[in-house]
Amino acid sequence: MSDTFTLSFRPEIVFTDESDRLTLQFDPHSLTLERPQPGLKSALKHLKHSALTAAQLTALVAEADGVQDGLNFEAELQKLINLGWICHSVLPLATAIAIATDYQLISPVFERDKPFIISRFAFLRQENEQLVLESPLSKAKIILLDWRATALIGKLAQSNSSFTLENLADSLIDVEIVQSLIQLLIATKMISLEPESEALAEWEFHNLLFHRQTRLKRLDDARKSKMPRLEDRERSHFIKSPMSDKVVFLEKPHLEALAKTDISLTQAIESRQSIREYDNQPITLNQLGEFLYRCARVKEIYTHEQDIMNIGEFTKRPYPAGGALYELEIYPVINRCQGLNSGLYHYQPLSHALYAIADGNSEVETLIFDAWKSTGMQDVPQVLLIVTARFGRLFWKYYSIGYGLILKHIGVLFQTFYLVATAMQLAPSAIGGGNSEQFGKIANLNEYEESSVGEFILGSLKQ
């Protein structure tokens, strides 16, 4: 066990000392010790209120309770570290706090005067009015307690061939403290002693951060143990209000008749392909209406008898969505469609209608132009479907996995688009990129409330 760092309980742990009983609580777990030995009690109090090293704490227990108890303490302390209950500090500079369980902090052996550089994955951000160093490679976050720690991190971001610990410490702080800080940075993977593996080298910073943030259960997420509840002030209705007074009501297809004449599911899956060439006769308004109805209409509105999250009304639609919250909205951009003027529309899935937002002006044309460029400039798309997410429909419930969930929903919706388009003998293709800023300007959206997250093109199949 390292003696470089001082140890303390993580700040969220509630420590109660009642006569013969000590309780440690960190939601959803708690640990109760009945009549703890005096040395153990004292060590736990030190973990709450002061800063001793693991060796000092073990010695304290061994001295008061006996050598065997000292050894037991060391093993139990290691278990608490692995659970993420213990912070490691280099005072007065920094404290490492675990952000995930299975936490290991192995103090490394390193060559004092070999140059170090902070990982390209490490980043600084402000949290609770403190500067925090994090990295998607690390299971810890490091609270920078003192401006000198920030200055040292800044120096460690530059490669320096004349690196020595003395140069780094400069006149800022004692060189031994700088050495311990570097050990903490290495132990928490903010500095790596090894070159990046080939697999890691392929990762962009933001991809790895997004991956970790959406796949890791963070210990420091204060909301993790609370049942989420939709507060009335956060409510955004399951249907967007009409975006204009120019409405085009769409035809509803005869589903029973279609069920008899459609190709089979196997045929649809097997013949589905991305098609970016169209017939001279463009897609019709009725086809667009049928397509939207089959893919994305509201089929039913219902409520749950026991609505503990205060969600209120839910909807059923042809495609699945996490929590049945349905945050996605569809905005058809019409270039060529028989029976419908070119321009930008919003699809209202309850009334099964299009609301006109803008006519086919040059700004709207740039949306079509961008999609066309993404196809390698095959035929100019007849219809571009821009899909947005209304973030407020999801984020109150799904917190850090919210954005990842939206991308999954895009996948689910796109496959529905593909299969319905195949059954209808239309030409479908997903598009991998789009300009959400440009679209937000035209549709007058507040990017933090609603923004485009996916694009899909549709047209008539070449005869």
Ligand X SMILES: Cc1cc2nc3c(=O)[nH]c(=O)nc-3n(C[C@H](O)[C@H](O)[C@H](O)COP(=O)(O)O)c2cc1C
Binding site for ligand X (CB under 6 A): 273-274, 276, 374-376, 414, 429-432
Measured from the CB of residue 382, what is the shortest distance to ligand X in angstroms?
A: 15
In this structure, the number of other CB atoms found within 10 A of the CB of residue 317 comes to 18
Query: Closest CB to ligand X among 56 and 374?
Result: 374
Residue closer to ligand X by CB (options 25, 374) is 374
Structure tokens at 197: 């593996």
* Nearer to ligand X (CB atom), residue 181 or residue 371: 371
Q: Is 352 left (phi over 0), alpha (psi -120 to 50) or beta?
A: left
Nearer to ligand X, 269 or 301 (CB): 269
Which CB atom, from 332 or from 428, has the smaller least distance to ligand X? 428
CA distances from 437 to 60, 343, 425, 441 (A): 61, 18, 33, 6
| 137 Cβ contact list (under 8 Å, min separation 6) | 119, 121, 189, 192, 208
Q: Which is nearer to ligand X, 301 or 407 (CB)?
A: 407
Residues 290/262, Cβ–Cβ less than 8 Å: no
Q: What 3-state class would DSSP assign to 407?
A: helix
Close Cβ partners of 403 (under 8 Å, ≥ 6 residues apart): 210, 214
Closest distance to ligand X from the beta carbon of 457 (Å):
8
Of residues 43 and 383, the one with the C-beta less far from ligand X: 383
CB 155, min distance to ligand X, A? 42
Query: Residue 143 burial (CB < 10 Å; 0-12/13-18/19+)?
Result: buried
Task: State the nearest-atom distance from the C-beta of 128 to ligand X, in Å.
Answer: 38
| Closer by beta carbon to ligand X, 50 or else 274 | 274
Tokens standing for residue 186: 């290495």
Q: Rounded to the nearest whole angstrom, what is the least distance from the CB of residue 320 to ligand X in the complex?
A: 17
Q: Please state the closest distance from residue 92 (CB atom) to ligand X, in A.
A: 50
**Beta-sheet strand order (sheet of 29-34):** 14-18, 21-26, 29-34
Helix axis angle, 38-49 to 67-83, nearest 10°: 40
- Indicate the residue among 193 and 269 with the shorter CB distance to ligand X: 269
8-state DSSP, 272? -
415 three-state secondary structure: helix
- Report in angstroms how near the CB of residue 276 gets to ligand X at its nearest: 6
Q: Parallel, antiparallel, or unpaired: how do β-strands 140-144 and 94-98 relate? A: antiparallel
Axis-axis angle for helices 205-215, 402-423 (nearest 10): 100
Smallest gap from residue 377 Cβ to ligand X (A): 10
Query: Taking the complex as a whole, how short is the minimal distance between the CB of residue 183 and ligand X, in angstroms?
Result: 44
Angle at 192 between CA 191 and CA 196, to 5 degrees: 135
* Residue count of the chain: 463
The whole-angstrom separation of Cα 337 and Cα 283 is 5
Instruction: Report how far residue 327's alpha carbon sits from residue 450's, in angstroms, rounded to the nearest whole number.
Output: 9
CA distance linking residue 311 with residue 308, whole number of Å = 8
Q: How far is the CB of 357 from ligand X (least distance, A)?
A: 24
Amino acid letter, residue 355 = Y
- Give me the least distance between CB of 277 and ligand X, in Å please: 11
Residue 134 vs 370, nearer CB to ligand X? 370
- Rounded distance, CA 427 to CA 274, Å? 7
Q: CB nearer to ligand X: give 80 or 321.
A: 321
